Amino acid sequence: MSVPSLGQDMGVIYCLLAAIAWGTTGTVASLAPEVPAPAIGAAAMGLGGLLQAAIAWRAIRDAREGLGRTWGLLVVGAIAVAIYPLAFYSSMRLAGVTIGTVISIGSAPLVSALLENRLERRPLSLRWAIGAAIGIAGMILLSRADADHGAIAPDAPLGVGLGLVAGGTYALYSWTAGQLMQRRIPAMAAMGATFGLGGLLLMPVLAATGGPLLDGPRNFAVGAYMVIVPMFLGYIAFGRGLERIASSLATTITLFEPVVAALLAVLIVGERLPVTGWLGVALILACLLWITLPLPRLPAERRLRRATVPRR
Please say if the pLDDT value at position 200 is more than 50. yes
- Residue 31 burial by Cβ neighbours in a 10 Å radius (0-12, 13-18, 19+): middle
Closest CA to 29 of 267, 204, 264: 264
Give the pLDDT of residue 8.
74
Task: Report the C-alpha gap between 265 and 151 in whole angstroms.
Answer: 12
Lowest mean pLDDT among 54-58, 68-72, 245-249: 245-249
Please say if the pLDDT value at position 144 is more than 50. yes
Give the pLDDT of residue 264.
87
The mean pLDDT value for 33-49 works out to 93
Give the pLDDT of residue 306.
45
Please say if the pLDDT value at position 269 is more than 60. yes
> What does the mean pLDDT of the chain come to?
82
Looking at per-residue pLDDT, the higher value among 312 and 95 belongs to: 95
Residues whose CB is less than 8 angstroms from the CB of residue 10 and which lie 6 or more positions away in sequence, other chains included: 240, 244
- Residue 239: pLDDT band by 50, 70, 90 thresholds? confident
On whether the CB atoms of residues 166 and 91 are closer than 8 A, the answer is: yes
The mean pLDDT value for 163-190 works out to 88
Please say if the pLDDT value at position 1 is more than 90. no
| % of the chain surpassing 70 pLDDT | 84
| % of the chain surpassing 90 pLDDT | 35
Task: Report the C-alpha gap between 265 and 129 in whole angstroms.
Answer: 31
Dihedral sign (CA 150, 152, 155, 157): negative
Please say if the pLDDT value at position 300 is more than 70. no
Question: Which three-class secondary structure state does DSSP give residue 32?
Answer: coil
- Residue 244: pLDDT band by 50, 70, 90 thresholds? confident
The mean pLDDT value for 268-273 works out to 80
The mean pLDDT value for 212-230 works out to 93
On whether the CB atoms of residues 231 and 43 are closer than 8 A, the answer is: no
Task: Report the C-alpha gap between 99 and 163 in whole angstroms.
Answer: 8
Start-to-end Cα distance in the chain: 27
- Residue 309: pLDDT band by 50, 70, 90 thresholds? very low
Provide the total of helices (H) and of strands (E) in the chain, helices listed first. 17, 0
Give the pLDDT of residue 89.
93
Lowest mean pLDDT among 62-66, 120-124, 142-146: 142-146
Give the pLDDT of residue 110.
79
Closest CA to 230 of 57, 83, 40, 53: 40
Closest CA to 191 of 147, 245, 158, 239: 239
Give the pLDDT of residue 212.
94
Per-residue burial over 64-79, b = 16 or more CB atoms within 10 Å of its CB, e = otherwise: eebbeebeebbebbbb
Please say if the pLDDT value at position 91 is more than 70. yes
On whether the CB atoms of residues 226 and 25 are closer than 8 A, the answer is: yes
Using N-to-C axis directions, what is the helix angle for 156-182 and 71-95, rounded to 10°? 160
Task: Report the C-alpha gap between 297 and 299 in whole angstroms.
Answer: 7
